[in-house]
Structure 1
Amino acid sequence: MRPDVRRWLHSRTFAAETWAAPDLVAVKGTRGCTVSVVLPALDEERTVGTIVATIRDHLVERCPLVDEVVVVDSGSSDRTAEVAAAAGARVVAADTVLPRHGSRPGKGEALWKSLHVTSGDLLVFIDADLVAFDPRFVVGLLGPLLTDPTVGYVKALYDRPLTTTDGIVPSGGGRVTELVARPLLNAFWPELAGFVQPLSGEYAGRRELLEQVPFVSGYGVELGLLVDLAALAGLDALAQVDFGTRQHTHQADAALGRMAGQILHTALARRPGAGRPKRELLQFLRTADGLEGVSWDVGVVERPPMRSVRAVEGGRRGRA
């Protein structure tokens, strides 16, 4: 292991149990900062309501650590927006935010637009498909940011059980991480090799940093943020927190292939001296007539830093 990675792992990897919500409320008051929790969502009516209700109950009403809970809905066809609103979230339709800039599909688009419709100094991003959500995800991610002013971005790490027809494989999830993201980071950004879950969907950061980097519109957003924020603020401004286990829904292999294509596209676009990679991914389906090739566009769109957008728009952040 590289000495710089070993040092970073020792000094910037924390246990979620290190912090308790009441203690962080006191620190937050001393710092004079505010917190926004954002859930990007697309057809997550089964889980989003429980997550929102849990955050509001534990971290807004019982213990005022969180100032606003916002669900950015990316055009759900189910009752995601209705369920989230009923649970106490402010729901924003992604395609109504910054309409002059159009609307792109993908999680990264929702996260980018959330910067424009929230007001917190610290932002916590939580996937809307978590099962058995625990409020300590929010508490743990905020811990390093509130207690150490030199930390600017925090990612969650955890084991991801994979449910299969043969039962539950304790650490079988994270296939795209192990097959694509980790090899890419070790090859091109070895200083970031210490991140256990570089693609984790739970992370938090300071607005002042998040608004200075681009957001990739699709599934490459996590890798893009990791690489860009490390370049902007330095490795020691990044940290990770261990949450033990995370349960969520899993996607089919073909969908994971398209996800991997977007992540690869994002990485190659950032590789020093590299040109833009090809956008097409060819996958195969077996039909009654034989094999059929299906082409997917896995190209990603770089949304510009929100700070530059706001300068042009001349507007303030906050409610849409």
Structure 2
Amino acid sequence: MRVVAIVPAYNEGRRILPVLDVLAAAPSVDGIIAVDDGSTDDTFSVANQHSACLVGKLRVIRQEPNQGKGAAMQRGADEADGADILLFLDADLTGLSIAHVENLLAPVKSGEKVMALGVFRGGNFWTTLAQILAPNISGQRAIRREVFLSVPCLADARYGVELAITSFVMGEGLPMTDVVLKDVSHPTKEAKLGLLRGVRARARMYQQMMPFLMRRYNPKRKRKL
């Protein structure tokens, strides 16, 4: 199965390279697409200078203006021609290793699951706590491409995109699983933006998630794809 990793990024010029390094070295990852979602910093140029671009494993796409995480993920999936599995990772991860990537992909590559959701444990206290309370908001997941492309209205979901994906997979009764990403984390919005801007950004994020939080799952009988 061909695996393409998609890394949506907004103003992550200082943080994206370690994630790209791991993906470039991961044996199961056949290609990488980084989608710069209208950043105002040097995210695009930094990603373009990665050595994986020189060997054709990494492609960097600039999307303007900023359209939100859902649109960036949708753009990456549309560009991933020939992929069987999509691996979505946030651009600001810390503690990520090749083993984490391979473990997240394994349940989907084996055909046992159509989606594997990566959940933080043992890294930053607050991000770990958030994913214990609400694992479905995780941005780290492996998913069959045809399943992802079947999720409606992703381009408009913005920060609600993860909940929209999980809601669809559960509503269709498709097999999924959680995979623990031990010691993986990412900075909180408050740490990246400062307290006041971070709180405002978090409030916007929860506002965009709310329509999807309010939806009820409608599980159906499991089916194979």
Per the TM superposition, whether the score is higher than 0.5 is yes
Q: Which has the larger radius of gyration?
A: 1
Per-residue CA shift, 1:84-116, capped at 9, x if unaligned? Answer: 111122101224xxxxxxx76211110011111
CA–CA distance in 2 between the matches of 1:105 and 1:160? 32
Which residue of structure 1 aligns with residue 11 of structure 2? 43
Tell me how far 1:271 sits from its aligned partner.
4.0
How do 1:27-66 and structure 2 match up within 5 A? 33-56=1-24, 58-59=25-26, 63=27, 65-66=28-29
SS in 1 for 2:158: coil
Q: How do 1:187-202 and structure 2 match up within 5 A?
A: 197-202=135-140
Between the two proteins, the alignment pairs up a number of residues equal to 200
> Are residues 220 and 174 of structure 1, via their aligned partners in 2, closer, same or farther at CA, if it must alter by over 3 Å?
farther
Q: Return the match for 2:113 from 143, 148, 151.
A: 151
Q: Equivalent residue of 1:105, what SS?
A: coil
Measured after TM superposition, the shift of residue 161 of structure 1 is 4.2
User: TM-score, structure 1 length as denominator?
Assistant: 0.58
Cross-structure match for 2:211: 265
Distance 1:129 1:104 in 2: 18
Aligned partner of residue 228 in structure 1, secondary structure = helix
Give the 3-state SS of the residue equivalent to 1:247 in structure 2: coil
Residues 137 and 163 in structure 2, CA contact (< 8 A), matched pair in contact too: yes
* Structure with greater proportional strand content: 1
| 1:205 paired residue among 143, 146, 162 | 143
CA root-mean-square deviation? 2.1
Equivalent position SS for 2:104: helix
1:84 aligned partner? 47
> Counterpart in 1 of 2:104?
141
> Where in structure 2 are the equivalents of 1:1-320 lying within 5 Å?
33-56=1-24, 58-59=25-26, 63=27, 65-87=28-50, 88=52, 89-95=58-64, 105-119=67-81, 120-147=83-110, 149-159=111-121, 161-162=123-124, 171-173=125-127, 182=134, 197-214=135-152, 215=154, 216-232=156-172, 234=173, 237-251=175-189, 252-268=198-214, 270-271=215-216
Whole-Å separation in 1 of the counterparts to 2:177 and 2:130: 21
Give me the identity figure in percent.
28
TM-score, scaled to structure 2: 0.80
Aligned mates of 2:123, 2:97 — CA distance in 1? 16
Structure 1 residues 188-220: Cα deviation after superposition (integer angstroms, max 9, x where no partner): xxxxxxxxx211111010012111112153111
Q: Secondary structure at the match of 1:243?
A: strand
Where in structure 1 do 4 or more consecutive aligned residues deviate above 6 Å? none
**How far apart, CA to CA, are the structure 2 residues paired with 1:137 and 1:106?**
26
Show CA shifts across 1:56-85 (max 9, x none).
1x22xxx3x211111011011111111111
Residues 154 and 259 (structure 1), Cα distance of their counterparts in 2 relative to 1, 3 Å cut:
same
- Whichever residue aligns with residue 134 of structure 1, its letter is S
Q: Paired residue for 1:278?
A: none
C-alpha displacement of 1:174: 5.5
Q: Is the CA contact (8 Å cut-off) linking 1:105 and 1:217 kept in structure 2?
A: no
Residue 254 of structure 1: how far off its partner (Å)? 2.7
Structure 2: runs of 5+ lacking an equivalent: 53-57, 190-197, 218-225
Aligned to 1:194: none
